Structure 1
Amino acid sequence: MDLLTQPVWRLYDQSISAISTSPLTSFAMDDTLCELVGQLQSPPTLRTWVHAASVVLGIQDHRLPHVHEAMALLEARGYQPIVRNSGGLAVVLDEGVLNISLVFSEQTNAMSIDDGYEAMLAFTRLLFPEGEIAAYEIEGSYCPGSYDLSIGGKKFAGISQRRLRQGVAVQIYLCIEGSGSERATLIRDFYELGLQGEPTKFTYPVIKPTVMASINELLGLKLTVADVVIRVQQVLNRLGEIRVASLNATENERYAFYLQRVIERNAKMLAK
């Protein structure tokens, strides 16, 4: 909880404004915030963000033997594939998935990888007090990791981190609405077509759709993403003074730099 309790939290809500944009914009935004917070030009920041139907692929996903066929499958089902220039594996984003970034500075206190994960775990538990949230790898889920968040053995969220210029962005996707197993089925089909039984050096996850669910399915609720954004703001209000602030003109210049960089990287990956 120490990391979460701050004198001031900057709040940047893009849960509506980012929907029609590419997830690449969010990677650029978090890189921008990493620099600003890391260099103490901004207080610690919480950003909420949502994107329309997209699948964010990791570098290993792009090395699948039949990746272009698999990406065409995603597009045929209405999902836009992009490639992020970092670790991790395929993740589904859509309007029923809320993403949260917590951005901290390492200038004043060093942060281990686990410190960041534990902060997001604590925040998520404050967000959903109705459930007993566990953190361990859920075998058969997409993008599996030791900080998969689950209730009753079913995963509803995954956490990642981005570190840049003494800033740390801890990111989580929360499946709020819809069917977790349907999202997992999409990724299962992506891997099956991408592999087509061929051996690979990297071991890709064997997706079991039944091990994934949404918060609504797990808790028997009817929450919307908008409802959870309100919960986020209520929790944040208990952790420090909130300052609602989008980017100013100077910060927008840094964002333009990072956006150009992620667009160029993505284009290079897709051209391979």
Structure 2
Amino acid sequence: MLYTLLPPLPTRHTPDQILTEEQGWLRDCARDGQPRAHLWQAPQCLIVTRKDTRLPRYQAACEQLAREGWPVHVRDSGGTAVPHGPGILNLSLLLPRTAADLAHYYRLLGAPLLALLGEHGLEGSYDFVPGSFCDGQYNLVIEGRKVTGTAQRWLAPGQDHGGAVLAQAMLLVAGDVNEGTRMASRFYELAGGELRFLPDTSTTLAHCIGWRGSEEQLVAQVQRRLQARLTGN
């Protein structure tokens, strides 16, 4: 499948603003049936779910984490808290609703990412990784460690549209993934939740291919390759 690639948003946009923009694009997709793709990055932060905002010490946790350089933002899709930052590339697919099962959309989301890993000589697969943040059946995994987390949000059919699906993936290209894992656990510790995540359950593309260059350069290279795969150009 080929996608219309959405233009990058201004760098001043916060993750909350980016995710709100995607909700508008999702409604557009529901109305015109045109699949879209959005590639984006966020500064260092944690992105949590609506459910997490109901934890007993949520507000206090947000204030403390902001002081520690990890501001908290909220998304509408499911899962758990996840770390974001300069080494993480996010892919959002906005898809017309044509099937009734989650697996169909997760496989559409995973297809370009698995192909990208294959370009680097890596064999990825879908699997659970117990102890990882936002664990799920449709993690992309390399040698037992998560390299991509995934989530979905469905827009129900309305009077003027047939519904749409937002499928999101975060590709761990580079950076200190154990530190991100630790901070996701710290959110739940501070907020009064029970979830905790284990170190060494996730990995990065940079680690898997033995990258020795600039992490920023690798992220830019991966973004260009994904753009080409998504648009056919």
Q: Normalising to structure 1: TM-score of the pair?
A: 0.74
**8 Å contact 2:76–2:153 — kept in the other structure?**
no
In structure 2, the residue matched to 1:119 is 108
What does residue range 228-247 of structure 1 map to in structure 2 within 5 Å? 228-238=222-232
Amino acid at match of 1:110: A
Tell me, in whole angstroms, the C-alpha distance in 1 between the residues paired with 2:34 and 2:52. Answer: 35
The match for 2:22 is: 30
* Structure 1 segment 8-47 matched on structure 2, within 5 A: 9-14=3-8, 17-40=9-32, 43-47=34-38
**Match status 1:213 vs 2:203:** yes
Aligned residue runs from structure 1 range 146-225, under 5 A = 146-164=137-155, 165=157, 166-195=163-192, 204-221=194-211, 222=213, 224-225=218-219
Contact 2:48 2:74 in 1 (8 A): yes
User: Residue deviations 1:120-169, cap 9 Å, x none?
Assistant: 12121112212111212211111111112211111121111122251211
Post-superposition Cα deviations, 1:168-222, rounded to whole Å, max 9, x if no partner, equal: 1111111112111111011122222333xxxx7xxx4321021122211123235
Rounded to whole Å, the distance in 2 between the matches of 1:180 and 1:36 is 34
The secondary structure found in structure 1 opposite 2:147 is strand
Query: 1:86 Cα shift?
Result: 4.6
Deviates more, 1:147-156 or 1:60-69: 60-69
C-alpha separation in 1, matches of 2:78 and 2:205: 26
Deviation at 1:85, TM superposition (A): 4.2
Aligned residue number for residue 268 of structure 1: none
AA partner of residue 114 (structure 1): A
The Cα shift of 1:111 comes to 4.6
Write the distance in 2 (CA, Å) between the matches of 1:174 and 1:19: 19
- Checking the alignment, whether the CA contact within 8 Å between 1:141 and 1:205 is kept in structure 2 is no
Equivalences for residues 77-156 of structure 1 within 5 A? 77-106=68-97, 109-129=98-118, 130-156=121-147
Larger radius of gyration: 1
Aligned length: 221
After superposition, the CA RMSD in angstroms is 2.0
Change beyond 3 A, Cα 1:37–1:68: closer
8 Å CA contact 2:5, 2:231 repeated in 1: no
C-alpha distance in 2 between matches for 1:145 and 1:227 = 27
Kept after mapping to 2: 8 A contact 1:135/1:150: yes
Query: Structure 2 length as normaliser, TM-score?
Result: 0.86
CA contact (8 A) 2:4 2:34 kept: yes
Post-superposition offset of 1:23? 1.1
Tell me, in whole angstroms, the C-alpha distance in 1 between the residues paired with 2:129 and 2:10: 29
**1:102, 1:171 within 8 Å by CA — same for their partners in 2?**
yes
Do 1:19 and 1:95's aligned partners in 2 also have CA atoms closer than 8 Å? Answer: no
Kindly tell me: are residues 79 and 19 of structure 1, through their superposed partners in 2, closer, same or farther at Cα, counting changes over 3 Å?
Answer: farther
